[in-house]
Structure 1
Amino acid sequence: MSQLRVREDYRGLTGPEKAAILMLALGEEHASRLFVFMDEEEIKELSQTMANLGTISANLVERLCVEFAEQLSSTGSLVGSYESTERLLLKVMDRDKVDSIMEEIRGPAGRTMWEKLANVNEMVLANYLKNEYPQTVAVVLSKIKPDHAARVLGLLPESFAMEVVMRMLRMEAVQKDVLDDVERTLRTEFMSNLARTNRRDAHEMMADIFNNLDRQTENKFLAALEERNRESAERIKALMFTFEDLGRLDPTAIQTLLRSVEKDKLAVALKGASESLRDLFFSNMSERAGKIMREEMSAMGPVRLKDVDESQMHMVQIAKDLAAKGEIIISEGKGEDELVY
């Protein structure tokens, strides 16, 4: 029988092999403490490498330990990540607290699973969701942005979409195990990350989604909803902020909005506006700007309703953004200066 080969070549060691040797050198007690900070895939890879190491010379082990100690004591040698930090925190506090801390750490640049879903084409997402339970779809649509949810909802089969709407209206705060199941499935399908729960009033959420539907689809859903649950339909309509509601803006707010909207979008939006609202916008333009705008609207001829809807929704969204930043006030129309967005 040939003698077992003893590994001596330090430069030939891979990263996983170095980690495996260190784990074995630390001994069972210390190594087991490190394993709890690793995820399942890391443990599998490291375990497989350890099992296939063979015999390592004492000189090689010593050299590896010395190098590790030197690197550990030098600046910049440790590499941290959101994932490793999150795993460490989970060992000492509950998931909700960890989610809150990680959200602050990530800041605006953080990419949660739901943010990544925003980049998934609505047709792809709708085709996937139409084979899921309506309650699952309701959870997903409640977690993504209203305009994206609206496009997905409009692509689902009509009867199925109504089931989803009804479940969204009845939905309380989503149970953690249910949300975890949905997240796990979506993570598998779209290779995304975990996100924290975002609780919103169901009717307010549906109003935002309905605001982003095209006029025909919106009317269809509201009519169907009125037949099944008139109270919810009325509540949603009261919460919806439409293009015509821009008529509640004061002159200063309208002028701020006019400065923020692209001229071509404004022309198309006003083309499909009511006469009173159109006059309100023109009365807040200079005589020259109003004349140019009227000429542009006249020159464009007939405009598709779809384009009008998109331009009007664009203006509504800009108004909401300005209100959220405190640059304009959208009142309730009752003589009060309450913000509705």
Structure 2
Amino acid sequence: MSPVMSRKDLSFEQLSPVQRAAILMMLVGEETAAHVLKAMSPSEVEELGAAMYTVRGVSHETVDAVLDEFFDMLRDQTDIGYGANAYVRNVLNNALGSYKAQSVLSRIKPASSERPIEILDWMDAPAIAELILDEHPQIISLIVASLDFSQAADVLKLLPEDLQPEIVQRVANLTTVQPEALRELEEVMQRKFKANTTLRASQIGGVKAAAKIMNFTRQNMEQRILKEIKKDDKDLMEALQDNMFVFENLIKSDDRALQTLLRGIEQEILVMALKGADGALRSKLLGCMSTRAAANIMDEMDSLGPVRLTAVQQAQKEVISVARRLADEGTITLAGRGGEKMV
């Protein structure tokens, strides 16, 4: 009889599909694995559980091969686009730790991209900030504008405070960036980590992009930056404010977050704010109240009669101010400022 093969001798080719799934289960952590097992039948749980015992000592090379196959399957079977890079990076960091995750990412990250600096999506904010800190503000602005909005905000927070308003202002004034400008950016990136990218005219930056980046900053940082921008360009400051998180964005937020928010709003302000809200948003907010409270609000709105638009806008701004304060405190999470779930 031939000797029994040790676990460490198992190669990728010798693994069964169930054993490959078992390796993935061993990587995702106990809590996630438990959620997966709950969705399986008893026989599937037994088969997968048994397989997990047989793969506990496989080599790092075999684990890497299983992960490579898994991500190849994801790329082939899904059409995930925007936000996928950050999602994959965060999942791997949580599952494997930053050191192992970086090893995997170095093999699976895209070799080329339509965006000139997509490789930065695989780096954390401190690493990016350190990488670009000594560059010209225009180069920094191009890089920040090319990042995911939440990641860009994290990078912005790590830059010197006196530089932050200028970066936001430059991002807001960006429109179509031609290949000539991207070539300069490409040269900067090549000097940093020798990366080649595809050059083409790219639509990055603009007031809306700058406003979305600002949505992910805290109110005190936002107010300081806007105050500095106002000194140079009042119209730009107002345009940024108009495109930042606004009253209408509340419709995207979780009901529990809205319930918490509404408890912190004085009734007369809420009545005025809802007076100018569209029907869908008004219904959603009223639906987050008790039947009696909603009826009282409706009665007060009816008794108000016509109101000035400026009064409605001011009331809505006060609601948003409370919403952002609660979000900054971590009490709620607002859709459009990093997610939709309660914290």
TM-score by length of 1: 0.45
TM-score (norm 2): 0.45
User: Rg: which structure is higher?
Assistant: 1
